[in-house]
């Protein structure tokens, strides 16, 4: 149970944070939706004059010579004329439109409308101060095919020709990915500064569910290109917001894309959303870093709640816990806080945080973007957190790279009064690969240091796997463990069960180094290790084991089964596993599977090999432990009694060896979670 504290703040200050991409929103789906909804009514998506004028008036002055390209039947030129702009020329390739606009604007004699192609203009060089484009770029830049790109580059070249030095290309656009990518690269290559401002006002008059596509105003200023000039790229997330300087076109593209995905997420929420939203993550980073400083997850509850909206800050190091790392856990967190909609905030591993107040100040404007549309006026969003009012603590011990598993970090994390050492692979930052309890002890110099306690287990699922040993305590037990990790499981068994003989098989040599150097793992005659593929070892070994345990994860992060890899549960390989077991032996599998179909198929395959297949899905964890044996006990009461007795024997043994009064396994809770599959 988590203790929640409440602090109220007003949304008045903001930090320079930029949204980053997330794979939840695919580009094709995003823009296909736009073009289906747009149809022939493109104009409304770009905003009316009163919505755009706050930005336009900053970059278009009454004395400027303005050229509007692709004017269509827009009233923009007339609107500018009516507030004092007189030198405005509008062109379009449609003679019908030009005749219509000329007729409509007879009362504005200084407005000029001419039939002309923006890619082949007849104006003199350096004739205009501003080239104004409202939606024309989007209409012409339909895709990134060579013909289309060539046409767009001709238009850009013409814009550059007719603009004076210091003149501005002011373009109102939705900035599709291929458009922003090409435009930013083209103007940077030309030596022009590029500034992009998000026009929030253009969205406000639409219903929340229709605010899918943010409107941007892009301002590219004509400069003479100078050698070795650094690109000038700027972004503002609001009309009056602070400008952020970016280092390269790719960063600008990424930031714009993040804004678009953010808007899509909010619109989906306004429509009622769906469960997939809970897996989406909005990442915010500061301009100085390539790493996310904050990761925002959203969850909602169906029941009416006392608190309509809140944000929950997860202390550093605790983002890997089930309650915060999984959609199911975050829903439970939302329920426990009695909150209707909650934003769960993870703090970035590579960022620094001083106080909760600092975090609130930086996040406030972004959190408020997620609020329900029916919040009471003046609602002050509460920020919640776990435990004491601090940002948590993580101490990085080392970083490295495994040739097989990628970049990793080993860090010490404080959780309440306890300290844990964790191995995290950075390609799966919200999954703890290995975890161990740390205790304070004196070293040779009588200085207190933190060391791994091999007599304690941090992982609940490990305690349940050890429960299988209760059936084999009357004699020496031989154990094959596939997947070493930090070595906590084999180290504990080796220390606590002196009649055990364990052989661990680990594919990645880096893992053995980490276990030895960071987690206190030591091998001897009763605890041996081979660096080898687990499947190959089992296929080639002639040894028989009392217990075979699998605790190995999949490197395929897209798989519905993240533990173990599919090859380890192939039907033919399962038969081979059974052949490596003694007559009364047991196969123990740590399973992490979110795909119901895959799980059902696996259970069926296990049941064709072993007489008894029992699963135990742990509460508040992603892990499910499978016990498979050739026992002839076929009803739940017999199996529950057998496993229950084994768990009790393990508890008795552990209490005797470790001189503790606490049980290793919560027998009653574990038996309630048991499910007989055959």
* Beta-carbon contacts of residue 530 (< 8 Å; ≥ 6 apart): 503, 504, 505, 506, 537
Beta bridge partners of 550: 482, 589
Left, alpha or beta for 317 (phi > 0: left; psi -120 to 50: alpha)?
left
| Mean pLDDT along residues 390-418 | 89
- CA separation, residue 107 to residues 82, 90, 92, 101, 102 (Å): 11, 16, 20, 11, 10
Instruction: Indicate the range of 225-239, 429-443, 495-509, 660-674 predicted with least confidence.
Output: 225-239
Eight-state DSSP code of residue 230: P
List C-alpha distances in Å: 316 to 108, 185, 352, 416.
63, 38, 10, 12
pLDDT at 608: 93
Domains and CATH numbers, the chain: 7-14+281-385 (no CATH), 23-269 (3.40.50.150), 394-452 (no CATH), 460-676 (3.40.50.150)
| pLDDT for 171 | 96
Could you give the count of Cα atoms lying within 13 Å of 380 in the half-sphere of its Cβ?
A: 8
Alpha-carbon gap, residue 158 to 60, rounded angstroms: 19
Measure the CA–CA gap between 283 and 297, rounded to whole angstroms.
Answer: 9
Burial 469-493 (b: 16+ CB within 10 A, else e): bbbbeeeebbbbbbbbbbbbbbbbb
d(CA 77, CA 75) in angstroms, rounded, equals: 6
Q: What is the mean pLDDT of the chain?
A: 85
16-20, 28-32, 355-359, range with greatest mean pLDDT: 355-359
- Per residue in 484-524, pLDDT (tens digit) is 999 999 999 999 999 999 999 999 999 999 999 999 999 99
Would you say 165 and 222 are in contact if contact means Cβ atoms under 8 Å apart? yes
Q: What is the CA radius of gyration of the chain?
A: 32
**What is the predicted pLDDT for the residue at 388?**
58
Number of H helices, E strands in the chain: 20, 30
Distances (CA, A) of 558 to 226, 551, 555, 561: 46, 19, 9, 9
Q: Does position 228 have pLDDT exceeding 70, yes or no?
A: no
Q: Of 342, 362, 344, which Cα lies nearest the Cα of 352? A: 362
In order of 117, 118, 170, the CA distances from 68 in angstroms are 12, 10, 9
| Mean pLDDT computed over 204-222 | 86
| pLDDT value, residue 5 | 20
> What is the sign of the dihedral through the CA atoms of 391, 312, 21 and 48?
negative
SS3 44: helix
């Amino acid at each position: 149970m988590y203790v929640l504290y409440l602090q109220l703040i007003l949304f008045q200050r903001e930090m320079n944070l930029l949204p980053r991409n997330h794979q939840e929103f695919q580009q094709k789906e995003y823009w296909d939706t736009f073009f289906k909804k747009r149809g022939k009514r493109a104009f409304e998506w770009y905003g009316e004059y009163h919505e755009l004028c706050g930005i336009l008036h900053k970059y278009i002055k009454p004395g400027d010579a303005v050229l509007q390209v692709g004017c269509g039947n827009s009233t923009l030129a007339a609107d500018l004329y009516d507030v004092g702009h007189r030198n405005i020329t509008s062109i379009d390739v449609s003679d019908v439109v030009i005749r219509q606009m000329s007729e409509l604007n007879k009362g504005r004699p200084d407005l000029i409308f001419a039939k002309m192609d923006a890619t082949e203009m007849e104006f003199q060089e350096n004739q205009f101060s501003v080239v104004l484009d409202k939606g024309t770029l989007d209409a012409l830049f339909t895709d990134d095919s060579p013909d289309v790109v060539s046409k767009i580059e001709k238009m850009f070249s013409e814009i550059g020709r007719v603009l004076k030095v210091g003149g501005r290309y002011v373009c109102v656009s939705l900035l599709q990915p291929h458009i922003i990518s090409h435009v930013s690269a083209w103007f940077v290559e030309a030596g022009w500064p590029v500034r992009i401002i998000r026009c929030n006002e253009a969205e406000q008059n639409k219903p929340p569910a229709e605010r899918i596509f943010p409107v941007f105003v892009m301002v590219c200023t004509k400069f003479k290109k100078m050698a070795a000039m650094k690109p000038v790229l700027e972004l503002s997330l609001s009309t009056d917001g602070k400008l952020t300087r970016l280092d390269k076109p790719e960063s600008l593209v990424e930031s714009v894309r993040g804004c678009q995905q953010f808007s899509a997420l909010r619109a989906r929420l306004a429509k009622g959303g769906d469960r997939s939203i809970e897996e989406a993550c909005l990442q915010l980073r500061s301009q100085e870093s390539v790493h996310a400083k904050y990761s925002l997850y959203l969850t909602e509850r169906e029941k009416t709640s006392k608190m309509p909206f809140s944000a929950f800050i997860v202390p550093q190091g605790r983002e890997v816990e089930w309650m915060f790392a999984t959609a199911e856990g975050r829903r439970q967190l939302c329920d426990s806080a009695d909150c209707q909609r909650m934003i769960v905030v993870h703090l970035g591993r590579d960022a620094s945080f001083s106080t909760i107040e600092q975090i609130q100040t930086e996040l406030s404007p972004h959190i408020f973007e997620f609020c329900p549309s029916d919040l009471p006026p003046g609602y002050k969003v509460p920020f919640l957190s776990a435990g004491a009012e601090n940002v948590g603590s993580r101490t990085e011990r080392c970083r490295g790279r495994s040739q097989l598993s990628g970049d990793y970090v080993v860090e010490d994390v404080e959780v309440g009064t306890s300290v844990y050492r964790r191995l995290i692979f950075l390609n799966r930052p919200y999954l703890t690969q290995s975890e161990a309890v740390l205790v304070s002890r004196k070293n040779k110099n009588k200085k207190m240091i933190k060391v791994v306690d091999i007599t304690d287990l941090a992982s609940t699922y490990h305690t349940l796997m050890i429960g299988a040993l209760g059936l084999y305590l009357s004699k020496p037990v031989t154990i094959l463990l596939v997947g070493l990790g930090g070595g906590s499981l084999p180290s504990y068994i080796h220390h606590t069960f002196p009649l055990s003989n364990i052989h661990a098989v680990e594919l990645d040599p880096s893992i053995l180094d980490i276990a030895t150097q960071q987690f206190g793992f030591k091998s001897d005659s009763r605890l041996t290790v081979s660096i080898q593929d687990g499947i190959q070892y089992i296929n080639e070994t002639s040894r028989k084991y009392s217990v075979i345990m699998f605790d190995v994860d999949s490197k395929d992060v897209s798989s519905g089964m993240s533990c173990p890899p599919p090859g380890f549960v192939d039907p033919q390989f399962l038969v081979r596993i059974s052949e490596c077991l003694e007559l009364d032996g047991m196969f123990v599998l740590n399973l992490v599977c979110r795909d119901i179909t895959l799980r059902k198929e696996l259970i069926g395959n296990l049941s064709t090999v072993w007489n008894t297949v029992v699963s135990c899905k742990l509460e508040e964890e992603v892990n499910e432990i499978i016990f498979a044996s050739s026992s002839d006990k076929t009803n739940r009461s017999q199996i529950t009694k057998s496993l229950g007795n084994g768990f009790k024997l393990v508890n008795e043994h552990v209490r005797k060896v470790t001189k503790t009064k606490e049980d290793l396994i919560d027998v009653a809770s574990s038996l309630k979670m048991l499910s007989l599959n055959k």
